[in-house]
Amino acid sequence: MVGIAGGWSSQRLLDALEQRTGFRCLVDMSQVRSDLHTGRAYYDDVDLTALDGLVIKKVGAEYSPDLLDRLELLRFIASRGPRVFSPPASIIAMLDRLSCTTTLVAGGIPMPPTVVTESVDQAARAVERMGRSVLKPLYSTKARGMLVVEPGPGLREKIAAYRDAGHPMIYLQQMLALPGQDLGVVFLGGEYLATYARVANGDSWNTTRRAGGRYQEYEPSREIKELAQRAQALFNLDFTCVGVAETEQGPVVFEVSAFGGFRGLQEGCAMDAASYYAEYVCRELAS
């Protein structure tokens, strides 16, 4: 399994896989050697290309363009025979926030009004038009690196500083009026599994645990389930969580994640996602 040593979800999935297979190997991608001329890839003494399957839980501790190179190595491994869950090519196509957004919009999935530009002036004009908005890094998770901006004095300077801090492509999304929560709609093998709500603590604009949010069980409407089903189907993932928000205009999708969902299911729904995923992997490899 590809994951993070000591990571909560990585350890749970590793334990679940070992219980079912009797084999345990946590792959740190920074220590993988791919010999392209021989068609082999190794982690320590383990020939990864000789495995029946490989499960990706985390490719790195932080989202960054560097993860794309690690995913390319995993794509090479997948080309040599092992079944990789989820397919590296699918994750590559969604790791970048803009790439994920483009696929969702092209697929007819409703999203918050979004503007992408390299121009500070154009970004400022968009905020003046949309009102309060969020600047979002192209590579981030759990609202890390996001900045709320609104029309008024100093707007252009804030956007310019954000761009100069390492965000040359400016990704802006209008802040919508939400009911104090958003949803994580989880799918396994393309089939609906469960939904949890991420509930804000009232002191922050976002609902992440880092900002004091909490998880709780939630039963979504048929409309939300169908929307999330359509969104995840665009990416061909084995395990995924679709971020959905309910608005006065109807549900919208924020993102589709190839890595999230484990803790939300555990704390919100009392479901052991690792066990479900391990069972699925074993069934798929046996079929």
Query: Which residue, chain included where needed, has tokens 């994920």?
Result: 100
Helix (H, G, I), strand (E, B) or coil at 212: coil
Domain ranges of the chain: 8-94, 114-174, 177-272+279-286
pTM of the model: 0.92
CATH of the structural domain 177-272+279-286, one choice from 3.30.470.20, 3.60.15.10, 3.40.50.2000, 3.40.1440.10:
3.30.470.20
Q: Which of 22-36, 42-56, 204-218 is least confident? A: 204-218
Domain 114-174 has CATH 3.40.50: no
135 forms beta bridges with 147, 172
Confidence of residue 207 (pLDDT cuts 50, 70, 90): low
pLDDT in tens, 212-225: 678 999 999 999 99
Q: Averaged over 132-142, what is the pLDDT? A: 90
Give Cα separations from 172 to 67, 128, 136 (angstroms).
Answer: 23, 12, 6
Please provide the DSSP assignment of 22-79 as one string: S----B-GGGEEEETTTTEEEETTEEGGGSSEEEBS-S-SS--THHHHHHHHHHHHHH
79 forms beta bridges with none
Residue 141 has pLDDT above 80, yes or no: no
Q: What is the pLDDT of residue 177?
A: 83
Query: Which residue, chain included where needed, has tokens 């039963």?
Result: 219
Confidence of residue 111 (pLDDT cuts 50, 70, 90): very high
Helix (H, G, I), strand (E, B) or coil at 29: helix
Q: What is the pLDDT of residue 203?
A: 58
- DSSP-derived letter for residue 271 is -
Listed in sequence order, the DSSP H helices in the chain are: 8-21, 66-79, 88-95, 97-106, 120-130, 155-164, 222-233, 262-269, 273-286
Angle between helix 66-79 and helix 88-95 axes, rounded to 10 deg: 160
Q: Averaged over 167-178, what is the pLDDT? A: 94
Q: Enter the tokens of residue 284.
A: 């798929």
Listed in sequence order, the DSSP H helices in 83-171 are: 88-95, 97-106, 120-130, 155-164
